[in-house]
Amino acid sequence: MEFLLSDPTFAMACEQFHRVASFLGLPEKTREIIKWPQRSLTVSFPVKMDNGTIRMFVGYRVQHHLALGPTKGGIRFDPDVTLGEISALAMWMSWKCALVGLPFGGAKGGVACKPSEMSKKELEGLTRRYTQELIPFIGPQKDIPAPDIGTNEQIMAWMMDTYSMQVGYTAPGVVTGKPVTIGGSLGRREATGRGVAFLVKKVSEILKMPNPLRIIVQGFGNVGSVSVRQLVEQGAVLIGVSDLSGALYNPKGINCAHLCAYKEKTGMLAGFPEADPIDGFDLLCQRCDVLIPAAKERVITKKNAEKLQCRILAEGANGPTTPEADKILEERKDIFVIPDILCNSGGVIVSYFEWVQDMQSYFWSEREVFDALYRILSATLHSIMKFSHERKVSTRIAALSLGIKKVAEAKEMRGVFP
Ligand code: NAD
Domain boundary among 343, 369, 404: 343
Q: Is 218's C-beta closer than 6 angstroms to any atom of ligand 1?
A: yes
Answer yes or no: do 140 and 41 share one domain: yes
Section 128-146 average pLDDT: 98
pLDDT value for 55: 98
Q: Which atom of ligand 1 is nearest to the CA of 320?
A: 32
- Domain tally, the chain: 2
Q: Is 92's C-beta closer than 6 angstroms to any atom of ligand 1?
A: no
Active site residues: 108
Q: Does residue 39 fall inside a structural domain?
A: yes
User: What residue owns the CA closest to ligand 1's atom 8?
Assistant: 221
Q: Is 314's C-beta closer than 6 angstroms to any atom of ligand 1?
A: no
pLDDT value for 39: 97
User: What residue owns the CA closest to ligand 1's atom 33?
Assistant: 317
Section 396-414 average pLDDT: 97
Answer yes or no: do 27 and 147 share one domain: yes
pTM above 0.95, yes or no: yes
Q: Does residue 23 fall inside a structural domain?
A: yes
Answer yes or no: do 296 and 161 share one domain: no
Separation in Å, CA 102 to CA 329, 361, 368: 29, 19, 17
Q: Which atom of ligand 1 is nearest to the CA of 223?
A: 26
For residue 95, which amino acid is it?
A: W
Answer yes or no: do 26 and 162 share one domain: yes
Section 301-326 average pLDDT: 98
Give yes or no for residue 66 having a pLDDT over 90: yes
Domain of residue 284, residue span:
191-343
Q: Is 275's C-beta closer than 6 angstroms to any atom of ligand 1?
A: no
**Most informative mutation of 223, 344, 350 for ligand 1 (most atoms within 8 A of CB):** 223
Answer yes or no: do 148 and 261 share one domain: no
Q: Does residue 288 fall inside a structural domain?
A: yes
Section 397-407 average pLDDT: 98
pLDDT value for 187: 98
Q: Is 219's C-beta closer than 6 angstroms to any atom of ligand 1?
A: yes
Q: Does residue 87 fall inside a structural domain?
A: yes
Answer yes or no: do 239 and 129 share one domain: no
Q: Does residue 379 fall inside a structural domain?
A: no
Answer yes or no: do 148 and 15 share one domain: yes
Bridge partners, 248 (sequence order): 241, 277
Domain boundary among 323, 343, 363: 343
Instruction: Say which CATH number the domain at 279 has.
Output: 3.40.50.720
Q: Are 163 and 131 in contact (CB under 8 A)?
A: yes
Answer yes or no: do 162 and 199 share one domain: no
User: Rounded CA gap, 200 and 337, in Å?
Assistant: 10
Answer yes or no: do 26 and 75 share one domain: yes
Give tens-digit pLDDT for 70-116.
999 999 999 999 999 999 999 999 999 999 999 999 999 999 999 99
Q: Is 344's C-beta closer than 6 angstroms to any atom of ligand 1?
A: yes
Question: 116 alpha carbon to ligand 1 midpoint, in Å?
Answer: 14
Question: 317 alpha carbon to ligand 1 midpoint, in Å?
Answer: 6
Give tens-digit pLDDT for 180-227.
999 999 999 999 999 999 999 999 999 999 999 999 999 999 999 999
Q: Which of 217, 236, 196 is nearest to 286 (CA)?
A: 217
Give tens-digit pLDDT for 154-191.
999 999 999 999 999 999 999 999 999 999 999 999 99
Q: Which atom of ligand 1 is nearest to the CA of 295?
A: 7
Give tens-digit pLDDT for 275-301.
999 999 999 999 999 999 999 999 999
pLDDT value for 126: 98
Average pLDDT along the chain: 97
pLDDT value for 349: 98
Q: Which of 147, 81, 150 is nearest to 110 (CA)?
A: 81
Q: Is 149's C-beta closer than 6 angstroms to any atom of ligand 1?
A: yes
Question: 177 alpha carbon to ligand 1 midpoint, in Å?
Answer: 15
Q: Does residue 144 fall inside a structural domain?
A: yes
Answer yes or no: do 234 and 290 share one domain: yes
Separation in Å, CA 229 to CA 190, 260, 409: 10, 9, 39
Answer yes or no: do 130 and 204 share one domain: no
Q: Does residue 67 fall inside a structural domain?
A: yes
pLDDT value for 1: 83
Domain boundary among 311, 343, 375: 343
Q: Does residue 106 fall inside a structural domain?
A: yes
Give tens-digit pLDDT for 328-368.
999 999 999 999 999 999 999 999 999 999 999 999 999 99
Answer yes or no: do 26 and 126 share one domain: yes
Instruction: Say which CATH number the domain at 48 has.
Output: 3.40.50.10860
